[in-house]
Amino acid sequence: MFKINSLSYKYLSGREGLRDVCMEGVAGDRIVLMGPNGSGKTTLLSALATELNSKGSVEVLGHSADENLQEVRRRIAFAGDRPVHLEELSGIENAQLFADLYGLERQYAESVLDNLFTRFGLSKVKHFPVSSYSHGMKKKLQLVEGFVHSPELLILDEPTLGLDPLSLEEFIDFIVQFKKGCVVMATNDPLVATKVATSVVFLMDGSVVAKGSPQELLDQLDEEVKVEIWTSGSEQKITSLESDGMVARVSPDKIVANMPSDVAPLPELMKTILRAGFEISRVEIARPDLSDVFLMLTGRSLTEESAVAREQLT
Ligand SMILES: Nc1ncnc2c1ncn2[C@@H]1O[C@H](COP(=O)(O)OP(=O)(O)OP(=O)(O)O)[C@@H](O)[C@H]1O
Ligand SMILES: [Mg+2]
């Protein structure tokens, strides 16, 4: 379905968006890209959508990205991270523009759109101007527009940001039932990634740092549970706790520790925390998720910017 080989991309500013990325997908694959801000997710999705003039090779649906672009683009859907619409037109008018763009016959397009508006819970607002839509509604409209021409390759950048819990479940169902082709999407939501992905790709500073099924990646964690301890304490005390091997992360209000599922080391850890002068307000035991695997493999949190992005801000 697609094959990316030794792909590198430099922005005009000189920033390296991608470094020597290799990846491939076949029908039935649902590939989820995860990585901190600036790690290259959007750049990689844009390259796959044949929108970048990059180094290396991108082959999509049997065509090289630098030859038959029209044919390729007719068979893919690319929903970027920021939905763009003609705000004064209604949802259905915006979606019809996409149907026209793809040359769909009017009557056929109407019935497809009818289904999609129902599916994404937008039927009641389809005749309202998009300017009156919430962010989540605009994201859903973007998906309706993306799916109108029955694409074979879905390229979705942060598609679940802003979706309410019900829409999120519907979106996940929709993607999991999409068997005809391949899905490549970016999200840093570990729950969404685990439910959707047949394979997860971790990106860091434009490079692939790990890939595997959610279970394969989770199996790399030796520890079986994550204990979150809500505390109050001073910066200095926090620093002293960080040297404890069991403690994975310390933030101003929370200490996160990994340990075996029998939580045998927990009482001792709590004693240490109390002795250090912290007050404990709540303790939660949770299964580690893909964000913990990312932290373990890279030493970096999914919620912080990549080194390159940080450098750029300074
Ligand atoms: N238009 C641009 N011009 C210059 N540099 C860019 C541009 N877009 C992205 N970059 C840089 O390329 C790198 C990768 O950015 P990219 O947007 O692909 O990351 P991302 O993983 O999608 O981040 P986010 O989670 O914030 O969406 C970063 O260093 C970023 O600053
Ligand atoms: Mg992005």
Residue 258 belongs to domain with CATH number? 3.30.70
Q: In this structure, are 189 and 206 located in the same domain?
A: yes
Which pLDDT score is estimated for 235?
Answer: 56
Q: What percent of the chain has pLDDT over 70?
A: 91
Q: In this structure, are 197 and 276 located in the same domain?
A: no
Q: In this structure, are 19 and 167 located in the same domain?
A: yes
Which pLDDT score is estimated for 139?
Answer: 92
For 84, how many CA atoms within 13 A lie in the half-sphere containing its CB?
5
Which pLDDT score is estimated for 129?
Answer: 98
**3-state class of 200 per DSSP?**
strand
Which pLDDT score is estimated for 259?
Answer: 84
The answer, yes or no, to whether residue 236 has pLDDT greater than 80, is no
| Amino acid letter for position 210 | A
Last residue of a domain, one of 218, 240, 271: 218
In a domain, 259, yes or no: yes
Q: In this structure, are 141 and 11 located in the same domain?
A: yes
Last residue of a domain, one of 184, 218, 252: 218
Which pLDDT score is estimated for 238?
Answer: 56
Q: In this structure, are 90 and 165 located in the same domain?
A: yes
What is the CA(165)–ligand 2 centre distance, in A? 22
| Ligand nearest to the CA of residue 305, numbered in listed order | 1
Q: In this structure, are 207 and 259 located in the same domain?
A: no
Q: In this structure, are 101 and 170 located in the same domain?
A: yes
Task: Report CA-CA distances (Å) from 60 to 41, 44, 53, 209, 291.
Answer: 18, 13, 14, 23, 30
- 57 pocket-lining for ligand 1 (C-beta < 6 Å): no
Which pLDDT score is estimated for 34?
Answer: 98
Look up the CATH number of the domain holding residue 74. Answer: 3.40.50.300
- Give the range of the structural domain holding residue 172, as residue numbers without chain letter: 2-218
- 187 pocket-lining for ligand 1 (C-beta < 6 Å): no
The rounded distance, in Å, linking the Cα atoms of 115 and 307 is: 44
Which pLDDT score is estimated for 313?
Answer: 45
Which pLDDT score is estimated for 314?
Answer: 42
Exposed, middle or buried by CB within 10 Å (0-12, 13-18, 19+), for 252? exposed
In a domain, 297, yes or no: no
The most confident of 147-151, 245-249, 270-274, 301-305, by mean pLDDT: 147-151
Which pLDDT score is estimated for 244?
Answer: 59
- 309 pocket-lining for ligand 1 (C-beta < 6 Å): yes
- 288 pocket-lining for ligand 1 (C-beta < 6 Å): no
Q: In this structure, are 212 and 238 located in the same domain?
A: no
> Which among 210, 204, 209, 213 is positioned nearest to 43, based on CA atoms?
204
Q: Which atom of ligand 1 is closest in space to residue 13's alpha carbon?
A: 4
In a domain, 302, yes or no: no
Q: In this structure, are 144 and 213 located in the same domain?
A: yes
Which pLDDT score is estimated for 288?
Answer: 86
- 83 pocket-lining for ligand 1 (C-beta < 6 Å): no
| Ligand nearest to the CA of residue 36, numbered in listed order | 1
The rounded distance, in Å, linking the Cα atoms of 84 and 286 is: 38
Last residue of a domain, one of 189, 218, 247: 218
Q: In this structure, are 189 and 279 located in the same domain?
A: no
Mean pLDDT, residues 249-278: 84
The answer, yes or no, to whether residue 66 has pLDDT greater than 80, is no
149-159 per-position pLDDT tens digit? 999 999 999 99
169-200 per-position pLDDT tens digit? 989 998 999 988 999 999 999 999 999 999 99
* More confidently predicted of 271 and 184: 184
Mean pLDDT, residues 189-212: 97
Q: In this structure, are 232 and 207 located in the same domain?
A: no
pLDDT band at 255, cuts 50/70/90? confident
Best mutation site among 12, 16, 33, 39 for ligand 1, i.e. most ligand atoms within 8 A of its Cβ?
Answer: 39
The answer, yes or no, to whether residue 240 has pLDDT greater than 70, is no
What is the CA(43)–ligand 1 centre distance, in A? 6
**3-state class of 239 per DSSP?**
helix
Q: Which atom of ligand 1 is closest in space to residue 35's alpha carbon?
A: 21
In a domain, 294, yes or no: no
Which pLDDT score is estimated for 157?
Answer: 96
Which pLDDT score is estimated for 303?
Answer: 82
Q: In this structure, are 61 and 105 located in the same domain?
A: yes
pLDDT band at 210, cuts 50/70/90? very high
106-148 per-position pLDDT tens digit? 999 999 999 999 988 899 999 999 999 998 899 999 999 999 9
In a domain, 295, yes or no: no
> Which among 280, 275, 277, 236 is positioned nearest to 255, based on CA atoms?
280
Give 52-90 as a DSSP string.
Answer: S--EEEEEETTEETTS-HHHHHHTEEEE-SS----TTSB
Tell how strand 199-204 and strand 30-34 pair up. Answer: parallel
Split into its structural domains, the chain has a count of 2
In a domain, 50, yes or no: yes
In a domain, 300, yes or no: no
Which residue puts its alpha carbon closest to atom 19 of ligand 1? 38
In a domain, 234, yes or no: yes
Which pLDDT score is estimated for 69?
Answer: 79
